[in-house]
Structure 1
Amino acid sequence: ATAGESNVATDTILPTENQTPTQKQRDLHPPTIDAISKGLLMRAQNLPKMHFRIFEDDENIEPWEVTLTCGKVAQQSVEEWQREEQLTLEEHEDEMQVVAGRVMAVLTRLEELEEDLLKRCNKMSEEVIFDFGVLPKELQILQTGSEDAVKQMRDAAAAIDAACLFDEQLRYNRAKSLLAMLLHEIEGPGLRRNGVVFPCMDVDFLSEEIFDALLGGASDVSGVEKSVEDNVEKSVENFETTVEE
């Protein structure tokens, strides 16, 4: 697939374990990855009133503003997907809700997920980390000792934003990594533990090598599991309310 294009087309239909050949399920990963990638681009563009980050020295940005921004991106992305694929609310509302919920869950937790992603790539070679959507410069900045932690975080953010503005493949790779971490270690275990099954819960969009390198070790994001589960459920509810209106 070329940069920004999903490895599986959005109209690809995959059978699930309990379905007959005539009852098939749409692959929800491609539109979700594309939407997260779009969010990374919009964050890099630093658009007015579209806040994705809050640094410790930010006094004029509230958490609800970040949540609102992420909700807008999720809703706009799902609406675009609906138009492109000619989906109908009657037949595809559940799928649209799942995509919106996952996009919202990733974008509202970018800080935690990206911090963990960088830790996992810390000991990898510079030639490899691009496949995970990580820049060598990001790691170099964070590895350099600094008494000004906020400046260090701002410099690292500026580095990835500058690259995301023009490198579509980097955004796409990073979006895949972030979604994989959410599904494999946060959403999947939490929902299965409660006996809840959503479509496309498995991470089947990474190569075996990348899967093992990214998800083979212990996670540092487990502490935010409950919050992200709540984000998924609330995002689904909010999207359903918006659709009804």
Structure 2
Amino acid sequence: MPRPGHDLDAVLAAAHVEADVAALRPDYRVLLLAVDGITPGPGDDLSEALLQRAEASAREAHATTPVDQLPHVAAWREAYRAFGAKPQRTRNSLEALTRRAPDGLPRVNRLTDVYNAVSVLHQVPLGGEDLDRYAGPPRLVRATGQEPFDTTAGGEPVVEHPDPGEVVWRDDLGVTCRRWNWRQTPRTALREDTTTALFVLDALAPMTDDALAAAADELVGHLVRLGPDVRVARRLLGTG
């Protein structure tokens, strides 16, 4: 498992998007960022300002367009339907955050706050994983239905399984995120002591590669201030 000083490029080189996923949505792209050297810390004035900017952006968007009609949200709703999920019941992470933002985004810690704000500002589903708790390379697959998904119910740990054909991120131990970008396992979630992370930026048309890169660039710009020795590697998959 990765540790500070790990070869981040090697981590990303092993990442994989299964052909069955690409066939489902040929317009799908994912930009992966592997980051180490992060100094954990609580929210600060800069992360608070970023959250407030994201909240204001969402309020402006809500004023003119229903959330489910925002272009990238609508594209992800269509993608969910393509593998049998009901988007009105299991909202992708972008839609969930965008709906919440006008009334206030969560304040967790500066790492989580930064990536949540960038997700809303750039209208892109954006996940964060603790690479020190990852086992093997990240890959995006259509589930068989047998893969374990470690989660909680009623405050107790339980093991669930994805639906057959569901699009999931997984590692060697099981599912790390269900329904493409819906719900993450606590096993690999970012924590107060996270120093090495993987960020997953998901894109469908009409989002362009340039817009996806701009979201990643802003995220990196905020991440590099989270420690004196932060290193970042990136890889774009799914362009053919």
Structure possessing the higher relative contact order (Cα contacts under 8 Å, 6 or more residues apart): 2
Please identify which structure carries the higher strand content: 2
Taking structure 1 as the reference length, what is the TM-score of the superposition? 0.31
